Structure 1
Amino acid sequence: MQKLIFLFVLVALIGISANYAYSQEMSLATFQESAQIVVDNSISQNVTASITLQSTSIQEIKIPAELEQEIREDKRIKAIILTNQDQCVLGVVDQSCIMINVARNPEDKGIIAIQGSTKEIAQLYIEDINRVFDTDAKFHSIFIHTDDESNRAFETSGIISGKGMISAVYTMTQEDTNSMYEKISAILIPKVIRDSGGFYEAAKNLSSHENAKMTFSLIPLESKSLLQLRLSVNYPNTASKISEISPLEFLKVENLNRSDYFSSGFYPLNSIIQVVVLSPENTKVSDVRGNIIPTQIIDNENIPTDITEKGWVFDPQEGQRIQGKYIFGKDTTVNKKELEFSLGGKQLQTKEPEKTEFDESIIVVIIIASVAIAAAMFYLKGYRK
């Protein structure tokens, strides 16, 4: 997580300093839209496509201020999750879930004490949570997560399903994803954002897919909460067959547009497409159809030198874990062909960047923006055990 934050802080820093004309216009919003394709040929053998809308502002993802503050100030609560995944935890079948994830109290000795302490905390909030989401979830069980293999593989946080996390699980009748996404997004996402299209429109259309599932999560931070609405589609047992990657094929669109919510300024880091490939053997990126942004290596990281330019940044480009991020630059849309690339084949040929210098006066801007950038790259593993 810290590695990703550092990477995109430097992206912003170099991009601004290399393009001074745009440095006066570049902005970072609290609202983020991201699309992610995970090709997991190492653990699950599945491909998962997801679109996430997220913010640290309760004006952009609407949670009552008093409830958000109470949850955030309760240091034992690590996350609130609403999901219609088929099996949010073991023992739950064909039901939607609300999970209240709680850190273990070191004073609790034994399973009974852990269960009692966790339920006591969760019961303080479930009534208000049900009221916000217009749900009627009832207590089901206390679940202790015992496996963090996926978190280690993806280098992600264990807040949702990491080893040792304890969930108070509440269940309700399972709702189809299309109607549930429409209902929850209408509750949480302001009309001005819903009417702005972009990744939200793509997610709404994708919610009709037979394998689509949705998840909302609230993750308390120091002075605010990270709020995420995620729509995902799982393609079972398909990862091993893939040598050509077309991200928009999995999102079922020919073009992906940025939200008009960002049309008032230059927000290059608020819409990002990410591809992660996990392989049991070494592989590499090749035959990229679109643009590859020139980079510089700074502290062993490939850093783009120009964020006004659209294109891919692959880091690493080869190995058992490959990661690529697509930045729109000044553009507002990308088509399917521009995002396609292959695995294997010839080594990537990239342009040598022009030498750039850091403008120390921009550091103040980066400090202010760091929370938003961190939120943009915070990837949550799915909730199905």
Structure 2
Amino acid sequence: MRRIFVLVFLALAVTYVANAYAEQPRLATFHETATVLVDQKLSNNVTASISLQTTSLQEFQIPKELDAKIHNDTNVIAVIITNEDQCVLGVQDRVCVMINVKRVDSEGPVQEAQQKAKTSGDMIIGDIDKFLGFDTKFHSAFIHYDDSANQVLGTEGQVSGRDTVSAVYVMPFQSSDYLFNTLAGDLIPSQIRGMGGFYDVAQKLAKDDSARVTFTILPKGQISYMQLKVAEKYPDSARQMSEVDPLKYFKVDELKRSEYYKAGFFPLNSIVHVVILPQDQSTTATANSIIEKTTTGNQTVPASLESSGYFFDSNSGKKIDAMYLYGTTYSANSNDLKISFPNSALASSPISIGTTEIIILVVIGAVAAGAIVYYLKGIKSR
């Protein structure tokens, strides 16, 4: 009955938006983001990921009781479920559930910080196991002294960075295909799953043996930022590249938006994000379709939300950062999404750079980073 009510609620909400805001730019709570990171500087890897994100408990249906427990414990800063190869040191080939708390240096010895994390974790893990049908066992309370977990999980420092303590619970390894379908089936209403879009690509990507799945809950105030992500790494493949075709890594001929957005004009809810860390900082990137820039309140923003193409936040230097916006269209092909970045002088060895420059984060706390950034930069509904 609860699921039927939710589906009716979603249908009514979409119908209302269609009638009231058909021509107005809107920002929905549900976002889909496809990201490709080309790291020529350090790892020589290409990483592709699909993220589905929301702040709505109707769109990601975690039990209200679980959500309340997470928010009521002010020590908890994140809940992470992943089948990454090593969620923390000492854990291999397991599914991990991590309940993270922030450690304050003045709180006392290490043992007290670990016990605080375990106490918080023990209060929550039973609800997680019941909701998802897991049977986890406590493994350890792990203190993060550096940001290595961020590099593995692609998360913000507040999720698993320095001075974060994780109460780690484990169970036998599950394939990404199985884990993704378990999480998506329990979290996302069938109506949204049936509307395709990036969800279908994530489901296909999860079938690859080397793909990994991460689900994160990040409590902020009275709401929860939630993200379900599938990522796949292509080792030792970045430095010989002078062109990136995102569709190659997502193994599709075109990238379609979810039909969820056909109810109105939602130009910032589906984004293809390409980040390139080039060996040669004089490299300039270009694409077949580029959205012109304009300045609003001393901030550079896309001149049009109706046009499709790449908006380059930076097209040269230490980091090339581009976001493809669909405008009024609903699909993009290889010709639309390719980015060229010819190297004028390929370096023979990696360039030494700072940590903040080599870690490109999937910004869980922002929920669809590109869309939120654009709104904060001054784009308003018209």
Query: Structure 1 length normalisation: TM-score?
Result: 0.81
Q: Which amino acid aligns with 1:245?
A: V
Matched, 1:376 2:368: yes
- Tell me the CA shift for residue 279 of structure 1: 3.4
- Tell me the CA shift for residue 337 of structure 1: 1.8
Alignment of 1:66-81 (within 5 A): 66-81=65-80
| Cα pair distance change 1:373/1:24, threshold 3 Å | farther
On the 8 A contact 1:292/1:313 being kept in 2, the answer is yes
SS at match of 1:34: strand
Q: Which amino acid aligns with 1:305?
A: A
On the 8 A contact 1:274/1:323 being kept in 2, the answer is yes
Q: Which amino acid aligns with 1:124?
A: M
On the 8 A contact 2:22/2:264 being kept in 1, the answer is no
Structure 2 CA distance, aligned partners of 1:235 and 1:207? 14
Alignment of 1:343-382 (within 5 A): 343-344=341-342, 374-377=366-369
What residue is the counterpart of 2:259 in the other structure? 260
What residue is the counterpart of 1:294 in the other structure? 292
Between stretches 304-313 and 22-31, larger displacement belongs to 22-31
Q: Which amino acid aligns with 1:332?
A: Y
**1:203-255 alpha-carbon deviations (Å, 9 max, x no partner):** 11111112111110000011200011101111112222221111111111110
What residue is the counterpart of 2:48 in the other structure? 49
What residue is the counterpart of 2:322 in the other structure? 324
What residue is the counterpart of 1:342 in the other structure? 340
What residue is the counterpart of 1:313 in the other structure? 311
**1:59-107 alpha-carbon deviations (Å, 9 max, x no partner):** 0011111211221232211110110111111100111100111111455
| Cα pair distance change 1:209/1:134, threshold 3 Å | same
What residue is the counterpart of 1:8 in the other structure? none
What residue is the counterpart of 2:352 in the other structure? none
| Cα pair distance change 1:283/1:179, threshold 3 Å | farther
On the 8 A contact 1:37/1:49 being kept in 2, the answer is yes
- Tell me the CA shift for residue 43 of structure 1: 3.4
| Cα pair distance change 1:317/1:23, threshold 3 Å | farther
Matched, 1:164 2:156: no
SS at match of 1:124: helix
What residue is the counterpart of 1:9 in the other structure? none
Structure 1 portions without partners, runs of 5+: 1-21, 347-371, 380-385
Structure 1 CA distance, aligned partners of 2:52 and 2:320? 24
Structure 2 CA distance, aligned partners of 1:169 and 1:224? 24
Q: Which amino acid aligns with 1:258?
A: R
What residue is the counterpart of 1:10 in the other structure? none
What residue is the counterpart of 1:95 in the other structure? 94
Structure 2 portions without partners, runs of 5+: 1-20, 345-363, 372-382
Matched, 1:187 2:211: no
Structure 1 CA distance, aligned partners of 2:201 and 2:114? 40
Structure 1 CA distance, aligned partners of 2:106 and 2:218? 24
On the 8 A contact 1:285/1:341 being kept in 2, the answer is no
Alignment of 1:13-24 (within 5 A): 24=23
- Tell me the CA shift for residue 156 of structure 1: 6.9
On the 8 A contact 2:78/2:99 being kept in 1, the answer is yes
Alignment of 1:2-151 (within 5 A): 24-148=23-147
SS at match of 1:66: helix
Structure 2 CA distance, aligned partners of 1:220 and 1:70? 11
Q: Which amino acid aligns with 2:315?
A: Q
Between stretches 291-300 and 160-169, larger displacement belongs to 291-300
On the 8 A contact 1:212/1:232 being kept in 2, the answer is yes
Query: Structure 2 length normalisation: TM-score?
Result: 0.81
Identity %: 39
Between stretches 62-71 and 170-179, larger displacement belongs to 62-71
What residue is the counterpart of 1:3 in the other structure? none
Higher relative contact order (CA 8 A, sep 6+): 1
| Cα pair distance change 1:292/1:150, threshold 3 Å | farther
Q: Which amino acid aligns with 1:157?
A: E
SS at match of 1:227: strand
- Tell me the CA shift for residue 312 of structure 1: 0.3
Structure 1 CA distance, aligned partners of 2:285 and 2:303? 21
On the 8 A contact 2:143/2:163 being kept in 1, the answer is yes
| Cα pair distance change 1:165/1:150, threshold 3 Å | closer
SS at match of 1:75: coil
On the 8 A contact 1:108/1:117 being kept in 2, the answer is no
SS at match of 1:319: coil
- Tell me the CA shift for residue 300 of structure 1: 5.9
- Tell me the CA shift for residue 280 of structure 1: 4.8
Q: Which amino acid aligns with 2:268?
A: L
